[in-house]
């Protein structure tokens, strides 16, 4: 969400400072304990004679005799005891490995570009003006935002918003949902060779469209799924609902005695959620939200590990809803003219920074390599204990992750996150392309980025992919996936960009530079006055 805002320059350094402080607190004591034990064993081994002598000299009572015998026992059986301890430790590790719950991503499918649904800028402007619900100022604002959004002419609008004039309805909203959901699920089942009756768990998330019967019921009816399927429909959870759905599916799979299969479907429906008023804070979603969705097949069957693409390593969820400013920073309501829309208010940037801070605090100990934690610890001690005038150490998350799927909420979100996380253009490219070619598709944006990586860059065995999404509530949720094999394959969603793989990043960088020059010119003019 929050498409055209800039992150505070200090948000991420402070965020990381807190995150790594906690990470270090968890890992450094363990490291210290290990090193301490190693040194202790070495010292005792080197001075065993003096150690024994000290015992014999100090203990002159009957207890001393027992103590001397005990020391003698340890002297004569040190090797055996060390082997025993090592064996117990190894058995414990093996037990943990055998019993650990593993969740695999078998495959995924994104709703592909349909040329007939593409809406160029000119069509967007013409249809919006013909609706005659926007003032001249509101129309000018929307076109300025659209031109600065980085969203291409190829993004999709549902048919109901392309009629002359647009006439959204419940029936047309259902049509949009069916077009996206049924296509994704059908293609995924074909790719995986699965039958609908094989699915044990179904989780569907869509924030703004929640009909009765539910979207999950629509899928069950269409594909004639089993009567005992566990189905869930998540609504009102915003753009970050994708990782929530993954986490829920993992837990539900874990409750099955013999394991099973989970189908996760993420989408957003915009037919009935196109704002038709004049409040600027509620107009921005009109310019970037577009039609899209994705379906994923998960399993916890270990026998499926060989054909699965990824293993789920972590799901980290953060919710700041207890804080009033966070709760209201992305808020659906009626404007003064009783027109319903989603408001993005001024607190959004700071709230997002706080949410990311907490997410990184939880994620850091799980993924950052020891070297990064030690570098932070040394920097923190120098600054806090010895008052050294140093900049806080910003960890390099590209040491923990190989690929990044940042929520394509808007141009400023993609570039801001990339800049603050010190990501190169190739790391920014997946999210930039998702935004450019498909717009903000809410919870499915991280899957468009995912499929772009597989199509264009490829993923090597053992590499990690990090998905991070922001959403109303306010939430920051993320997933970490580890590749189980080398993956390089074409997704239908990206066939239409052949030969144009660099266009998205080039476009966004150009807009960023133009915006910077505009700001500088404006500041100079204000300074002259």
The larger pLDDT score, comparing residue 362 to residue 490, is at 490
Sign of the torsion formed by the C-alpha atoms of 149, 150, 153 and 154 = negative
Q: Using the structure block, give the residue that is written with the tokens 């593409």.
A: 118
What average pLDDT does the segment 278-287 reach?
Answer: 93
Sign of the torsion formed by the C-alpha atoms of 494, 497, 503 and 504 = negative
Q: How far apart are the first and last CA of the chain?
A: 36
| 405 carries an active-site annotation | no
- What pLDDT does 75 receive? 64
pLDDT digits (tens, 9 = 90+) for 395-424: 788 889 999 999 999 998 898 888 878 889
80 Cβ contact partners less than 8 Å away, ≥ 6 residues apart: none
Token digits of residue 468: 């991070």
| 333 carries an active-site annotation | no
Token digits of residue 55: 């015992």
Token digits of residue 508: 């966004």
CA distance 141 to 121: 14
Taking 90 as the threshold, does the pLDDT of residue 22 lie above it? no
Quote the percentage of the chain above a pLDDT of 90: 60
Mean pLDDT: which of 229-238, 342-351, 416-425 is highest?
229-238
CA distance 265 to 248: 12
CA distance 417 to 407: 9
The CA–CA distances, whole Å, from 27 to 30, 34, 75, 357, 373 equal 5, 11, 33, 19, 8
The CA–CA distances, whole Å, from 166 to 155, 172, 249 equal 17, 11, 37
Could you count the other beta carbons within 10 Å of the beta carbon of residue 80? 9
Quote the percentage of the chain above a pLDDT of 70: 81
pLDDT digits (tens, 9 = 90+) for 433-485: 999 999 999 999 999 999 999 999 999 999 999 999 999 989 999 999 999 99
Specify the 3-state DSSP secondary structure of 486.
coil
* Catalytic residue (choose from 4, 319, 436, 491): 319
Token digits of residue 485: 């094999």
Q: 118-127, 216-225, 261-270, 305-314: lowest mean pLDDT where? A: 118-127
pLDDT digits (tens, 9 = 90+) for 510-525: 999 998 898 888 888 8
Average pLDDT for the chain: 85
Q: Sort strands 310-319 and 292-299 into parallel, antiparallel or unpaired.
A: unpaired
| 491 carries an active-site annotation | no
Q: Which has the closest alpha carbon to 206: 247, 267, 273, 264?
A: 267
| 133 carries an active-site annotation | no
Specify the 3-state DSSP secondary structure of 293.
strand
Taking 80 as the threshold, does the pLDDT of residue 372 lie above it? yes
The larger pLDDT score, comparing residue 398 to residue 92, is at 398
- What pLDDT does 20 receive? 46
CA distance 41 to 36: 9
Domain 11-25+102-490+502-519 coded CATH 3.30.2020.30: no
pLDDT digits (tens, 9 = 90+) for 33-67: 444 444 444 444 444 454 455 445 544 444 444 55
Q: Which has the closest alpha carbon to 420: 444, 397, 387?
A: 397
* Catalytic residue (choose from 110, 133, 184, 239): 239
- What pLDDT does 524 receive? 82
* Catalytic residue (choose from 233, 269, 403, 477): 403
Q: Which has the closest alpha carbon to 128: 1, 262, 277, 242?
A: 277
What average pLDDT does the segment 211-217 reach?
Answer: 96
Q: 155-164, 234-243, 431-440: lowest mean pLDDT where? A: 155-164
- The structure's pTM equals 0.82
* Catalytic residue (choose from 407, 433, 476, 477): 407
Q: Sort strands 475-483 and 464-471 into parallel, antiparallel or unpaired.
A: antiparallel
Strands (E), 94-195: 104-110
* Catalytic residue (choose from 405, 440, 477, 491): 440
Mean pLDDT: which of 83-87, 327-331, 383-387 is highest?
327-331
What average pLDDT does the segment 359-380 reach?
Answer: 86
- What pLDDT does 69 receive? 63
| 403 carries an active-site annotation | yes
- What pLDDT does 421 receive? 83
């Amino acid at each position: 969400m929050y498409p055209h805002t800039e992150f505070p320059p200090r948000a991420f350094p402070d965020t990381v400072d807190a995150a790594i402080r906690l990470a270090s607190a968890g890992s450094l004591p363990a490291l210290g304990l290990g090193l301490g034990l190693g040194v202790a064993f070495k010292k005792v081994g080197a001075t065993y004679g003096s150690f024994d002598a000290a015992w014999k000299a100090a203990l002159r009572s009957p207890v001393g005799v027992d103590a001397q015998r005990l020391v003698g026992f340890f002297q004569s059986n040190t090797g055996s005891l060390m082997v025993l301890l090592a064996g117990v430790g190894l058995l414990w590790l093996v037990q943990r490995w055998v019993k650990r719950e593993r969740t695999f991503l078998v495959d995924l499918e994104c709703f592909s570009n349909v040329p007939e649904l593409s809406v160029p800028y000119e069509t967007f402007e013409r249809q919006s003006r013909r609706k005659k619900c926007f003032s001249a100022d509101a129309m000018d604002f929307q076109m300025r935002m659209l031109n600065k959004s980085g969203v291409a002419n190829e993004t999709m609008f549902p048919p109901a918003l392309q009629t002359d004039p647009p006439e959204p309805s419940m029936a047309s909203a259902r049509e949009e949902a069916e077009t996206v959901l049924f296509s994704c699920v059908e293609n995924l089942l074909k790719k995986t060779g699965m039958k609908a009756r094989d699915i044990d768990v179904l989780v569907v998330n869509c924030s703004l469209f929640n009909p009765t019967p539910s979207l999950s019921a629509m899928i069950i009816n269409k594909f004639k799924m089993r009567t005992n399927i566990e189905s869930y429909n998540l609504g009102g959870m915003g753009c970050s609902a994708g990782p929530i759905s993954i986490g829920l599916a993992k837990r539900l799979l874990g409750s099955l005695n013999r394991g099973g299969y989970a189908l996760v479907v993420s989408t957003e429906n915009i037919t009935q959620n196109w704002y038709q008023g004049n409040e600027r804070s509620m107009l921005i979603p009109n310019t970037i939200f577009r039609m899209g969705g994705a379906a994923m097949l998960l399993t916890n069957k270990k026998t499926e590990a060989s054909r699965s693409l990824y293993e789920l390593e972590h799901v980290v969820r953060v919710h700041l809803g207890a804080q009033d400013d966070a709760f209201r920073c992305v808020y659906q309501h009626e404007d003064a003219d009783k027109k319903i829309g989603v408001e993005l208010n001024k607190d959004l940037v700071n709230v997002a920074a706080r949410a990311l801070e907490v997410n990184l605090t939880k994620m850091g100990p799980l993924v950052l390599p020891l070297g990064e934690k030690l570098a932070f610890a040394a920097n923190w001690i120098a600054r806090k204990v010895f008052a050294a005038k140093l900049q806080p150490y910003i960890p390099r998350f590209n040491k923990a992750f190989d690929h990044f799927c940042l929520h394509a909420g808007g141009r400023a979100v993609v570039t801001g996150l990339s800049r603050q996380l010190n990501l190169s253009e190739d790391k920014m490219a997946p999210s930039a392309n998702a935004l450019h070619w498909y717009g903000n598709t809410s919870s499915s944006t991280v899957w468009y980025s995912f499929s772009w990586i597989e199509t264009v860059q490829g993923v090597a065995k053992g590499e990690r992919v990090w998905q991070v999404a922001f959403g109303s509530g306010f939430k920051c949720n993320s997933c970490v996936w580890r590749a189980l094999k080398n993956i390089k394959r074409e997704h239908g969603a990206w066939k239409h960009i052949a030969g144009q793989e660099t266009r998205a990043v080039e476009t966004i960088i150009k807009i960023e530079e133009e915006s910077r020059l505009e700001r500088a010119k404006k500041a100079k003019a204000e300074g002259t006055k």
